[in-house]
Amino acid sequence: MACASALAVEPLSQGQSVRASVAKTLQPSWSLDLKAGDLVQGKVVGDVSLRLLDARGNPLRLLVDGADMSRDFMFVAREDGQYLLRAEQLSTRPQAEFTLTLSQVLALSEQQRAPAALLSPALGQLAEQLKQGATTQAFWKDREQQGTPLVEALADSPNERLVTFLWRGARQNVRLFGSPSGGHDALQRLGDSDVWYATYRVPSSARLSYQLAPDVPEAGDRRTLLATAQRDPLNPHSFGNQKYEPSLTRSVMELPDAPPQPWLNKRAHVAPGSVERESLKSEILGNTRDVYVYRPAGWNNIDQQPGLLVLFDAHAYTHQVPTPTILDNLIADGLIPPTAALIIANPSDETRPVELPPNADFARFMAQELMPWAKQQGLATDARHTVVAGSSYGGLASAWLGLQHPELFGNVLSLSGSYWWSPPNTEDQWLARQYAANPRLPLRFYLQAGLFEDKSGSPGAGILDSNRQLRNVLQAKGYPVEHVEYASGHDYLQWRGSLACGLISLIGKSPETPEACVPVALR
């Protein structure tokens, strides 16, 4: 360790430490020869300040304030040339001794972020092959034959899998819409190859739908990815648009332990119910909407207490989720009583976020217009056999209507309900606080959320956490609650199975839960 001269400006090099003392008339300095963009890091031990100067002695930046606790410093050279580090005395510690260490000088060319470690063994093997001069041709041929995403076992965790989403040949970026993280994640490029990838460690019971968006324009907000989003071309399993239009269809990932969904497909031996689309005008809301009326086969000859399902978001629950077929099969299997359904459409995209979050006028519409109209259709039943249901905002609306009108809706079926919601300028999770503040009502609940709907690291609660909080509030108040979590996201692919399980839970005819409705972790 060198000792600084009182007058000379000595050079300082990476890894070097120097010891010196400072006084009012003595401000030792050291010189650094740097290139533009160099990242400089170091440390001072002792009660002095340290200032950065240019070659002419003009101050550029105070690196260390000796009066503060931090003694580490860091700066980036603005241009090529010589720089000075000057120690300065503190008035409270005259003639202090100190040590200055220059820990690192990192050139701009060395500052590229190291690629993340490859979790996928298959990609690790490919990376080694590419280093030896191989191409990706064989890798992509395997993917064409075996499909995507790439799924690999974990020797140390049989209940998990490594899942790698892949895209071939993008120019600048690829985004994953519907990822297990709950976000719109960026895929990484494997070196300079045509392989773009994102790998996740997920439960072996995971189920989700997704799209990939290559070469998303940099301008615009997060919705811009919809401009190129499409189903995975190497995944043969699709969900959504029945015409299989790539931009309107999502690809399906279902791992081996994903719970079965046995009530989705029409059965030749099951008589289908009828579905009629009606138009209902609301004087309260000042708009008109479609309502799809489902009546099970043999509805006019029922000799038992019927059920009624009131379900939001008809655009999804008549297309992506085959609600009439689900009801046909549940009734045929003897799992629920003959149950009619009102599947309610939104007048427009703009009305949905206004009407479904707790809205007094919408609650009046449901109680004073929709339900009396349903009675005229011959669909009336008592509240104990009526289920109000929905997903996302629809789940929030269902729980709100149960609170407002338990005399009409005795069962709340909520799929990934948006319980983080609150009115403007209020604390989040407003509805949970309303349930906590009110007396217990004659209501039953089925709450489902996805493990991929976590919002860790973000302000406020997300879907998963806010559903757990509502569950806690309801249980503390003494409500009957079935709360289930699946390895899924905010996803109709999961909700179409959970809708059936929720109906079985709330108005089912058997005390036993079908295996398809038991989350894998509980089996």
pLDDT in tens, 402-427: 999 999 999 999 999 999 999 999 99
Task: Indicate whether 494 pLDDT > 70.
Answer: yes
**Helix (H) and strand (E) counts for the chain?**
11, 27
In a domain, 269, yes or no: no
Residues forming a β-bridge with 72: 43
Residues forming a β-bridge with 167: 196
Give me the amino acid identity at 509.
K
Whole-Å CA distances, 412 to 14, 165, 357, 444, 481: 67, 36, 15, 6, 10
Q: Which residue has the tokens 């009108």?
A: 405
When pLDDT is cut at 50, 70 and 90, the band that residue 191 belongs to is very high
- Which of 64-68, 104-108, 456-460, 493-497 has maximum average pLDDT? 493-497
Q: How many domains does the chain have?
A: 3
Whole-Å CA distances, 377 to 274, 293, 488: 13, 9, 37
User: Which CATH number fits the domain that encloses residue 249?
Assistant: 2.60.40.10
Query: Are residue 164 and residue 231 in the same domain, yes or no?
Result: yes
**What does the DSSP 8-state code read for residue 347?**
S
Interstrand relation of 160-168 and 150-153 (parallel, antiparallel or unpaired): antiparallel
In a domain, 259, yes or no: no
Alpha carbon 318 to chain centroid, angstroms = 25
* pLDDT score at 519: 78
Residues forming a β-bridge with 251: 210, 238
CB 145 within 8 A of CB 452: no
Tell me the H-state helices in 248-392: 314-317, 323-332, 352-355, 360-365, 371-376
Q: Per residue in 52-93, pLDDT tens? A: 999 999 999 989 988 776 688 999 898 999 999 999 988 878
Query: Are residue 104 and residue 139 in the same domain, yes or no?
Result: no
Tokens describing residue 263 = 């009530």
Query: Are residue 131 and residue 160 in the same domain, yes or no?
Result: yes
* pLDDT score at 2: 46
When pLDDT is cut at 50, 70 and 90, the band that residue 520 belongs to is low
* pLDDT score at 161: 97
Q: Per residue in 216-225, pLDDT tens? A: 887 656 667 7
Q: Which residue has the tokens 């190129």?
A: 228
Query: Are residue 240 and residue 279 in the same domain, yes or no?
Result: no
Query: Are residue 128 and residue 104 in the same domain, yes or no?
Result: no
**Element at 33 (helix H, strand E):** strand 29-34
In a domain, 270, yes or no: no
Strand order in the sheet with 59-64: 10-11, 29-34, 81-88, 49-54, 59-64
In a domain, 373, yes or no: yes
In a domain, 75, yes or no: yes
Query: Are residue 207 and residue 130 in the same domain, yes or no?
Result: yes
In a domain, 337, yes or no: yes
Query: Are residue 131 and residue 227 in the same domain, yes or no?
Result: yes
When pLDDT is cut at 50, 70 and 90, the band that residue 469 belongs to is very high
Query: Are residue 132 and residue 235 in the same domain, yes or no?
Result: yes
Mean pLDDT, residues 192-210? 96
Query: Are residue 72 and residue 148 in the same domain, yes or no?
Result: no
Low-confidence winner among 39-48, 114-123, 306-315, 498-507 (lowest mean pLDDT): 114-123
Query: Are residue 180 and residue 288 in the same domain, yes or no?
Result: no
* pLDDT score at 182: 85
Tokens describing residue 191 = 């070196």
Query: Are residue 215 and residue 81 in the same domain, yes or no?
Result: no
In a domain, 260, yes or no: no
Mean pLDDT, residues 266-292? 97
Domain boundary among the residues 77, 108, 139 is at 108
The SS3 assignment for 2 reads strand
Give me the amino acid identity at 351.
T
**What does the DSSP 8-state code read for residue 23?**
B
Whole-Å CA distances, 294 to 20, 242, 306, 320, 379: 87, 21, 13, 16, 10
User: Which CATH number fits the domain that encloses residue 404?
Assistant: 3.40.50.1820
User: Which CATH number fits the domain that encloses residue 6?
Assistant: 2.60.120.380
Q: What residue numbers bound the domain in which 177 lies?
A: 121-254
* pLDDT score at 455: 66
In a domain, 129, yes or no: yes
Give me the amino acid identity at 237.
H
Residues forming a β-bridge with 307: 339
When pLDDT is cut at 50, 70 and 90, the band that residue 314 belongs to is very high
**DSSP readout, 251-287?**
EEEE-TTSPP-TTSS--TTS---EEEEEEEEETTTTE
Query: Are residue 174 and residue 70 in the same domain, yes or no?
Result: no
Give me the amino acid identity at 494.
Q
Mean pLDDT, residues 301-320? 93
When pLDDT is cut at 50, 70 and 90, the band that residue 244 belongs to is low
